[in-house]
Every structure is written in structure tokens, then in C-alpha cells.
A and B are shown apart, each in its own frame.
Chain A
């Protein structure tokens, strides 16, 4: 699946997306896998209260299952308007 990062998550990780092969069942499982990769990922996901997630471009949450999902996006709380 494609995993996208926006705003300061993109900056901390140092790239806008990853192509990920994963057996993660939920979003939280995927976060744990990514955070274990390298310190820059661990830094980005250190405070999950400051991270929002979208699954296939719909807002979701950490407990959501990843079955059938092709695009996951992580980003801080939105500040548009």
C-alpha cells in the first residue's frame, strides 16, 4: 500500500510517501511497524495524539482495520480555512 505523509510528518520523515508491504491488521499496527524502522519515523510518530489518519482519503482512526485499504495518509490536525 501507499503511505503518505503531510506537513511536519513529511518533514520529520524526510519524504512524502512510502510504498509499504505489510501484514498490519490495524492502523496502530502499521504505525508500530513504521516507528520501528528508523529514528526519523519514531520521531514522527512519537506523539500519536498529534497525528490524524486517512484511509483511502477518508478520515479514520488508529483502531481502524487496513483490510482492502490501498492508501494511508498520516498528518497533523488540519489547519485550513
Chain B
């Protein structure tokens, strides 16, 4: 994102990792919807670029089987000043949580189960509605 340019004053990145708080998680598997995934991620990036003064954004999201501690995804936002970069990264995370077609399945303690969507994640979307 920084290659060949010096107008970026702030670069914020966020990485999401496979969490195992009590040592019971064997692995996490992410399923996605090929085709819609690419469109959804592009739409999230486009909206961020539209809403804030940004030089560039980046979204990477993995799928398939991941081990505890592995990186699941990352977003990055580059801007002249930090406020836009922080806000855009936060915005992209909230949208990834509930608008990008990924589903997590955990293999923990001998049982395999789909991760439930969190009400908090849907509520967080409200922070970004234009009033």
C-alpha cells in the first residue's frame, strides 16, 4: 500500500486471529460464498473510500481450516491523517462481521458447531448509518 508513495501519514491495520481462550479448540473452519464474497468485500472497500479521505484500503479474508492463533483476516486503511484511517478500519471490520458471506465452524472439545452471529455485531452496524 505504501510502495512508491509518500503522501500516506497514517496506516491503520487490524488483524483477526483464531482465538482459543481455554485450550479446547482444535481448529476453526471458514466457509464462504465464492462470487458473492468478492463482490461484498469490494463493496465494503468502495464504501470506505467514499466515506473517508483515504489513499487506499486493503481487505484480506482467509477461508478453509485454520489453527488456533492463525490470522483469519486483516483490514488496512491508509490516509493523510490518523482519524480517517482509524474510522475506516473500524467501519470495514463492522461490515465484514455481518455483511460478508463467511461462516465460522469450531471444532472444540470433540464437538463441531457453527458459531452463532452476535447481536452486538449487527447492532454495531447502526454506528455507521448516515443520519
Interface of B is mostly: mixed
What is the bound-complex CA distance between A7 and B113, given in angstroms? 10
- By size class, the interface of chain B is 20 to 34
A50 to B70, CA, bound (A): 28
Q: Interface size for chain A: under 10, 10 to 19, 20 to 34, or 35 or more residues?
A: 10 to 19
Is A73 part of the contact surface with B, judged by Cβ < 8 Å? yes
Do A80 and B33 have beta carbons less than 8 Å apart?
A: no
Q: In whole angstroms, what is the CA distance A79 to B117 when docked? A: 6
Stretch at the interface among B2-10, B19-27, B50-58, B98-106: B98-106
A15 part of interface (Cβ distance < 8 Å): no
Q: Are A79 and B104 in contact (CB under 8 A)?
A: yes
Partner of A80, one of B35, B73, B114: B73
Taking a contact as CB atoms under 8 Å apart, the answer to whether B103 and A81 are in contact is no
Contact of A57 with B by CB under 8 A = yes
From 25 to 46 in chain B, residues with beta carbon under 8 angstroms from any chain A beta carbon are 30-33, 35-36, 39
B95 closest partner in A (C-beta): A81
Instruction: Determine how close the nearest CB of chain B comes to the CB of A53; give it in whole angstroms.
Output: 11
**0/1 interface trace, chain A 4-19, chain B, CB 8 Å (1 if under):** 1011100000000000
B residues adjacent to A (C-beta < 8 A): 16, 30-33, 35-36, 39, 61, 72-73, 93, 96-105, 114-117, 121-122
Knowing that A4-B33, A73-B33 are A-B contacts, what are 13 other residue pairs whose CB atoms are under 8 Å apart, sorted by A's residue number? A6-B33, A6-B101, A7-B103, A57-B33, A57-B36, A76-B117, A78-B103, A78-B117, A79-B102, A80-B30, A80-B103, A81-B73, A81-B97
